[in-house]
Amino acid sequence: MIDVAQVRADTQGIGHSTHLLACGSALMPKSVVDAIVSHTQLEAQIGGYEAHARQSDQMDRVYHSMAGHIGASAREIALMENATVAWCHAFYALPLKPGSRILTCEAEYAANYVAFLQRAKRDDLTIEVVPSDDRGELDLAALERAMGDDVGVVAITWVPTNGGLVNPAAEVGRIAKAHGVPYLLDACQAAGQMRIDVQELGCDFLSATGRKYLRGPRGTGFLYVKEAWLDTLEPAMIDHFGAAWVARDRYELRDDARRFETWENSYALRAGHGAAVDYADQIGIDHIHERVNLLAQHARHCLSEVAGVVLQDLGRSPCGIVSFSVEGIEAQSIAGQMAASGFAIGTSVVSSTRLDSERRNLPTLLRIAPHYYNTEDEVNAAVKHLASLIH
Ligand SMILES: Cc1ncc(COP(=O)(O)O)c(C=O)c1O
């Protein structure tokens, strides 16, 4: 059980607004803010390099925290400035032979899809979108049929930016593994919302951000690289941190996932990222998952009773992201009016998940995404206010 009063007391943002956008950038707990501020103060007092040297054990612990949170080893973690950079490091490093196919899903995120398009053009690859089943989840039978010797990578999004969807990521992992195909999983919106176990998922690479359900600061993310790849995977770009310059004509890659990192970083934000992971672990990811789902289901129920609201979620068990549209009123206008009245909710534009949006003929959607620090009363108040804007 989560001590809701305590987590609300730990969250400075409670009381400033009714924040219901954990899938955008969640409210940070105080321990995260304190970690960032105290490292920044140390930098101000003794200098940036000196602060890093003094805090190097704590900085190392962030890798262990992150690894522990997803069932990996610290060697398999690279800390990044966001999920996109993390994902791109894995994707652009993957050796893909000309003529090979990229298998992805209908709900794939824009950042990933434009990278598919670029590599397809540059390296003569084809992109094949595995269709969704009648509930909107990636169709596993269709994925199995699409497999073949010419598949270079399976790259899908676990929890898309809208649609409440949770793709069957572990089942996809089993299929990819059975065919010996590398599996790159975008877990950006899953991290901090549900349990991530890279062994169970069977993924080779996994990327996520810090600022969403993990409640870390903006400008943080991470990449998991399965140990088996660390012998061979050459990053698409390197510097002298990821690869030491050992002779005039030679460099040596680090033997861990940090070969994807570069020399300069925001150590204050990293400290905050580590504090966020520790805070989530202290509360317990299964408790978090349960409460996020409970509040999201409550939001769906309340919204379903408002005339003119159309729920747009997909999948057998929709997650914490509640997507909907309002007949005859633009999403941006509603989100703007909600913000003016102290309710932070979000929108999701067609170009974020173009394939799914076009298939379903969706407009820009609204998103309500409660976190465990929210209450049913806050959801009620937001839906009541939204209803007053419509009618
Ligand atoms: C599914 C998905 N993947 C990746 C990203 C990109 O994350 P970041 O902004 O941290 O790069 C997002 C951001 O909203 C997302 O929703």
Indicate the pLDDT class of residue 162, thresholds 50, 70 and 90: confident
Please give the average per-residue pLDDT across 263-274, as a whole number.
98
pLDDT tens, residue by residue, 97-137: 999 999 999 999 999 999 999 999 999 999 999 999 999 99
d(CA 64, CA 85): 21
Written as six digits, the tokens of 190 are 């899953």
What is the number of the ligand 1 atom nearest to the C-alpha of 87? 4
The alpha carbon of 83 and the centre of ligand 1 are apart by a number of angstroms equal to 6
Determine the residue type at 186.
Answer: D
pTM for the full predicted model: 0.98
Evaluate whether 164 touches 313 at the Cβ level (below 8 Å): yes
Q: CB–CB of 252/59 below 8 Å? A: no
- Residue 232: Cβ within 10 Å count: 9
pLDDT digits (tens, 9 = 90+) for 170-203: 999 999 999 999 999 999 999 999 999 999 999 9
Mean local confidence (pLDDT), 42-51: 98
- pLDDT by residue (tens digit) across 357-375? 999 999 999 999 999 999 9
Domain extents for the chain?
Answer: 4-29+284-390, 31-282
Task: Select from 81, 82, 209 the residue to mutate for testing ligand 1; criterion: most ligand atoms less than 8 Å from CB.
Answer: 209
**pLDDT confidence bin for 391, thresholds 50/70/90:** confident
Q: Check if 4-29+284-390 and 31-282 are the same fold.
A: no
Give the confidence band of 169 by pLDDT, cuts at 50, 70, 90: very high
CA end-to-end distance (rounded Å), the chain: 38
What is the bridge-based pairing of β-strands 183-186 and 151-157? parallel
Sheet containing strand 309-311, strands side by side: 309-311, 322-326, 365-368, 346-348
Cα 26 to ligand 1 centroid, rounded to whole Å: 13
Residue 268 has pLDDT above 90, yes or no: yes
Average pLDDT of the residues of the chain = 97
pLDDT at 332: 97
Quote the percentage of the chain above a pLDDT of 90. 99
**Distance from residue 81's CA to the centre of ligand 1 (Å):** 12
CATH code at 4-29+284-390: 3.90.1150.10
Cα distances from 5 to residues 10, 22, 219, 374, in angstroms, run 9, 18, 28, 10
Structure tokens belonging to residue 70: 């997803």
The CATH code for residues 31-282 is: 3.40.640.10
Contacts of 250 (CB under 8 A, 6+ apart): none
Residues with CB under 6 A from ligand 1: 82-84, 109, 111, 157, 160-161, 186, 188-189, 209, 221
221 touches 86 (CB < 8 A):
yes
pLDDT for position 66: 98
The residue whose CA is least distant from atom 14 of ligand 1 is: 161
The residue nearest atom 7 of ligand 1, judged by CA position, is 83
Give CA–CA dist 383/391, Å, rounded: 12
CA nearest ligand 1 atom 12, residue: 188
Q: What is the largest CA-CA distance in the chain?
A: 72
- Distances 193 to 28, 174, 182, 215 between C-alpha atoms, Å: 14, 22, 25, 10
Could you report the per-residue pLDDT of 287-315, keeping only the tens digit for each? 999 999 999 999 999 999 999 999 999 99
What is the reported pLDDT for 242?
A: 98
Question: CA-CA distance, 247 to 188, in Å (whole number)?
Answer: 39
Count CB atoms within 10 A of the CB of residue 42. Answer: 19
CA distance 7 to 14: 10
- The CA 209 to ligand 1 mean position distance, Å, reads 7
Q: Reduced to 3 states, what is the DSSP secondary structure of residue 131?
A: coil
pLDDT > 90? residue 145? yes
What is the spatial distance between Cα 141 and Cα 378, in angstroms, rounded to a whole number? 41
- Residue 305 contacts residue 337 (beta carbons within 8 Å): no
329: left (phi over 0), alpha (psi -120 to 50) or beta: beta
Distance CA 240, CA 93 (A): 17
Nearest atom within ligand 1 for CA of residue 157: 1
CA distance 368 to 321: 6
pLDDT of residue 227: 98
CA 14 to chain centre: 23
pLDDT at 163: 87
Closest to 169 (Cα-Cα) out of 146, 191, 137: 137
- Residue 151 Cα to ligand 1 midpoint, Å, equals 25
Distance between CA 218 and CA 346 in Å, rounded?
17
% of the chain residues with pLDDT over 70: 100
Which of 91, 113, 161, when mutated, tests ligand 1's pocket best, judged by the most ligand atoms within 8 Å of its CB? 161
